[in-house]
Structure 1
Amino acid sequence: MAGSLGFELDRSKHFDEIWRTSPGEGDNIVGVVGFGSLLSEKSARSTFDSVLNFRLGRVTNYRRIFSHVAPIFLERGIAKRETKEMASLSVEEGTEADSIVVSLFDMKAEEVPAFIAREEEYRFVAVQPKELDGTASEGLHVMCVASCDEDFISNYGKERFMERYGRYDIERVWADDLLPCPVYLRHCVLAAEKMGSACHDSFLDYTYLADRKTSIRNYLADRPEILTELPPDHLAERYGG
């Protein structure tokens, strides 16, 4: 990948292609694009040890897509297997008309291995985001982009694939017949809403089901109960937006 779509990062090198030096402490830092649960600063700070300069920005030529199974939803018992409501969120290449409001922040470079381990099913792409005022953000940022089962197996091996997904009888992780995990979708919508109307509208209108046709706004118009169904008590804080 090149140009406006960015380029794929080498996970074995811990993204050192895009390391920067923080102006204050002089640490090596890496910019991160958040597009789902990481729209919430609270979620970001509960996930990363270091969250620096958290703010909203924009990434063009990409759109959000619910198109892969997340093992964590199965482990936590919030996936609905019978209706295939167990998809998590990624982004994929769109058109020049696609532009998503995202969160931007920096993490310390020492956190990159843990980040890769948490997000191992994705491709990692370096993109040049913009601030909300249209100016270019400082440095390239890593973004988790849609991948495929074959790439996962190439990176980690069939044994790791079966260890992570086979025990749940998941044969395909990236698929076009999935629906969003309701608890997670509600969490993302609430997080986007808390960040203001621009972020909220972007999430509703530039996030799609795996069919690549149905926007989340239209999906929720048909499934409004998703926004009123509360997560299990022990996950209320984690998935509360």
Structure 2
Amino acid sequence: MKRLEVIRSLEEAKRARGQERIELEKRIKKLEREKTELEIRISKQEDNNKQLNDNLNESNVSSLLSSEIDEIAALNVQIKVLCRANCLWVKKCGCVGSGPSPTSKMDPIAAKAISSGKIHVSQINLECGQGVSKVEVESSADDGLTWALLHRRCLPAWCDRQHSPYSSSLRPQEIDSWGLVTLPLPYFSLTSHTQFRFRTILGPNDTLSSWAVDNVYIGTCNMGCSGRGLCQSDGTCK
């Protein structure tokens, strides 16, 4: 009897080991399949990387870098525009003054925009009439929330800001009847969404009277027509 029990125990142990072997073989086959699939994925990824490296040659990389640099430069201009619109004349914001004239030191992007003799100008024919103290030309880069003069005259003798001979406060005594006024646009106004307005300023003893503008032109102009000719839409003078 004991001998039969021993034999049965050995047979059960043998069957158990056989089952374990079968399970182990299944696990090994599964791992081999997973290994094969992983090798295929790695091979495909290597092919993709090789193709990507082939596509990203030196010229493409230079083009991508140039595009990124242009985007960063445009963003810097927008930041300066916002600074001009919201903290004009505040030294701590780094935007003191009304903006440089074409002959002074300018932001590199703005300098590029007005290079080759093509400058951006605001040009109008103006008749102030009687009873008007002055007419101011202003711009806004934030959809009219804030407005600022295009230029404030700043001469060395009495101004410690960035010097500029231009003024967009136009007085009747400075204009003989119908007068042509040409002003270079400062870099903070060189945006695609800048708005412009003409505003009359009355003195304490002034009464509102007639005034008019004509031939308003805002855009590029060859040397500003030297302040004499009329700027045309093709950038020439007439």
> Quick check: TM above 0.5?
no
Structure ranking higher in strand proportion: 1
Task: Please say which structure displays the higher CA radius of gyration.
Answer: 2
TM-score, normalising length: structure 1: 0.27
TM-score, normalising length: structure 2: 0.27
Structure ranking higher in helix proportion: 2
Structure with the bigger RCO (C-alpha within 8 Å, sep 6+) is 1
